[in-house]
Amino acid sequence: MTLTQQVITIVMVIIGTMATRFLPFLLFPAEKPTPKYIQYLGKVLPAAVFGLLVIYCLKDVSIFSGSHGLPELISITVVVALHWWKKQMLLSIAGGTICYMLLVQLLF
């Protein structure tokens, strides 16, 4: 690729990314009332999307080979337990991550 072609490729990635971020705001501007259906989606989508993001983070975990997803399973259990117990975001995240690092570096 020449430099110009590289620049065009990068600009395409920028346009594509920005399109997905700006489109909803362009389609449903703040001055106009948002359609009921879109308002409904705005309310019910986030919880579903957080579920999707959790699965997305785990997409490359293989249950049938390697460590069989055990480090992930154990560490997520630690995160859930810590968060249920203390409800302190940073503590739960740090606890789970340290647990995971120890597991993959020392045990698995």
Contact positions with other proteins (CB under 8 A) in 59-88: 59-60, 71-72, 75-76, 79-80, 83-84, 87
Instruction: For the CB of residue 60, give the shortest distance to other proteins in the complex, in Å.
Output: 6
Binding of residue 55 to other proteins (CB under 8 A): yes
Between CA 102 and CA 98 the distance in angstroms is 6
Between CA 95 and CA 98 the distance in angstroms is 5
Our CB check for other proteins shows the closer of 44 and 65 to be: 44
Give the Cβ contact number of residue 69 at 10 Å.
15
Contacts of 75 (CB under 8 A, 6+ apart): 96, 97, 99, 100, 103
Instruction: For the CB of residue 81, give the shortest distance to other proteins in the complex, in Å.
Output: 11
Give the binding site for other proteins (CB under 8 A): 1, 5-6, 8-10, 12-25, 28, 30, 34, 37-38, 40-60, 71-72, 75-76, 79-80, 83-84, 87, 89-90, 92-94, 96-97, 100-101, 103-105
